[in-house]
Amino acid sequence: MSTLRQQLIQQMQLKGYCQRTIKSYVNIIAQIASFYHLPADQLSIDQIRDYLLKRITVDHLSKSWMSMTISAIKLLFCDVLKREWNRLDLPRPRMDHKKVIVLSKDEVQKIIRSKTNIKHRAILVVTYSAGLRLSEVTHLKISDIDSSRMLIHLHMAKGNKDRYTILSPIALDMLRTYYRRYKPQEWLFEGFTREHIAERTVQNIFKAALAKSNVQKDVGIHSLRHSFATHLLEQGVALPIIQRIMGHKSLNTTSGYLHVQQYSLQGVKSPVDTLAI
């Protein structure tokens, strides 16, 4: 391992970055250095700017990729190489705010019921019933399922924070059936090598279930998490509680689901009905 690469990794470890981010940042720096056939500490801002322009305009990589790349470069330049940083040299792109697509309860049911494989169905049920991110469901361990308190313990989730989310009785019953049949050892959902299941595999499971269900919406597995939060709102669960369950840093993030929940006007009384007139 080169000294510079080691310094970059150590700096991220000291700042508490998760292993996934560390790997991504190291790969990004290595790709830019390889593109110019130069050591990373000899790269100029102009070279990096040209590289970013090529990847955005020619290779059509996303704005989120560009933003992550700028973060990796800034960390290298400021924290490791101790160079001055002018954010105007590499401006971050203005991010698109995509409309959240939420599945109805009926659509979620159709998607889940379309899978007859108990393992695949258990993955979808746990993801929806607990509002999990893709990385969270793939990294669940058997020990994370707390059936005595009906909770799921998520370790080092987004933001390197542990949190608890709810364990549904239906999900627990399905997990017990799945466990008796598959007998996983450490990871709740294993791949072929007894390691945790790959994210791509889970995405493909959802994609196949969506196609078989005939639900006509362009969504990925993350829509189950969006739908979980929205359905909690519709059930009357308070925003701060949903924020805690979802692991949102800001209540503003959770508040975004207010725009997509379906309000029912039936049963809503006018304030005039409280007046003695």
Out of 133, 196, 226, 231, which one is annotated catalytic?
A: 133
Out of 74, 155, 222, 244, which one is annotated catalytic?
A: 222
Active site residue 222: yes
Residue 8: HSE in the Cβ half-sphere, 13 Å Cα cutoff = 26
Residue matched to tokens 């299941």: 197
Closest to 85 (Cα-Cα) out of 97, 94, 73 = 73
Cα separation, 176 vs 170, whole angstroms: 10
Active site residue 153: no
Out of 55, 121, 225, 226, which one is annotated catalytic?
A: 225
145-146: strand order across its sheet: 145-146, 151-157, 161-166
Out of 257, 259, 263, 269, which one is annotated catalytic?
A: 257
For residue 145, list its beta bridge partners.
152
Out of 55, 139, 196, 248, which one is annotated catalytic?
A: 248
* CB distance 8 to 55 below 8 Å: no
Out of 158, 179, 182, 212, which one is annotated catalytic?
A: 158
Active site residue 257: yes
Cα separation, 225 vs 131, whole angstroms: 4
Cα separation, 221 vs 227, whole angstroms: 10
Active site residue 225: yes
* CB distance 72 to 28 below 8 Å: yes
Active site residue 82: no
Catalytic residues: 133, 158, 222, 225, 248, 257
